[in-house]
Structure 1
């Protein structure tokens, strides 16, 4: 698949945006009409969906404003449920780390399921589902 490095770059960019507290960078990874929802724990309630790039940006900005630690998102085991020239569904494992007061700890593990679209020569996230194994 020739799109794989572009999609890996997009997913890494979104993670970097969160880790560097840059909600505009994160928002730029999503389509204008994107959706995002998340669930914490198998029995947790579904949070969202947050609809539209502005709502997704606000969700991340509000979350970042409440944090005192440095977050690091580590993505691994990327695989594709679907891949065509203009659409893909990517599933990625997540390990979320926190660095604070000279200590590092694992906040959660989980996974993303991203529906991606190729528009105007670039890839974007059209729908993101986040599942976290543990609350943080």
Structure 2
């Protein structure tokens, strides 16, 4: 697999893991010292959440607050290799809610990722999520 294909696979594995609540697979997407930050509609920065335990707690707490099924659709991936075994990746996020037979786009945004190759596998060392609006449709405070 090429570097781009491997990183595209990583981005997809993260989305699948979150959407299926496969927390073991989700944590495997990150290096042990990874960080994750989030900003909604230009509001305050949340995070960074550091390490597997903090990232996993954030993801589990977010999922527990949802009463629908989510589908994270990642597109327009751009990969910029920055050295031996490192790269920056950017992609768009479209977040879809599924309730019964109804579908709703909850939010759009971007992922900006710092990825590293560790033991032959690409992992997220840093992920920043920038949402264009809150997933619940409310304006940020």
Residue aligned with 2:33, SS: strand
**1:101 deviation in Å?**
3.4
**1:83 deviation in Å?**
4.0
Alpha-carbon distance in 2 for matches of 1:76, 1:83: 21
Question: 1:24-57 CA distances to partner (integer Å, 9 max, x unpaired)?
Answer: 2111100000000000002x11000100011111
> 2:114: which partner in 1?
115
**1:84 deviation in Å?**
3.4
**1:21 deviation in Å?**
1.4
Give unpaired runs (5+ residues) of structure 2. Answer: 136-141
What root-mean-square deviation, in Å, do the aligned CA atoms of Structure 1 and Structure 2 show?
A: 1.3
> 2:105: which partner in 1?
106
Alpha-carbon distance in 1 for matches of 2:46, 2:129: 10
1:53 maps to 2:52: yes
**1:121 deviation in Å?**
1.1
Segments of 4+ in structure 1 off by > 3 A?
81-85
Q: Is the contact between residue 4 and residue 79 of structure 2 (CA under 8 Å) also seen in structure 1?
A: no
Q: Is the contact between residue 32 and residue 52 of structure 2 (CA under 8 Å) also seen in structure 1?
A: yes
Question: 1:46-93 CA distances to partner (integer Å, 9 max, x unpaired)?
Answer: 000100011111110111111110000111111124443300000000
**Structure 1 residues 84 and 2: alpha-carbon distance in aligned structure 2, compared to 1, 3 A threshold:** farther
Judge which range, 29-38 or 93-102, deviates more: 93-102
TM-score by length of 2: 0.91
Alpha-carbon distance in 1 for matches of 2:80, 2:120: 22
Alpha-carbon distance in 1 for matches of 2:100, 2:124: 34
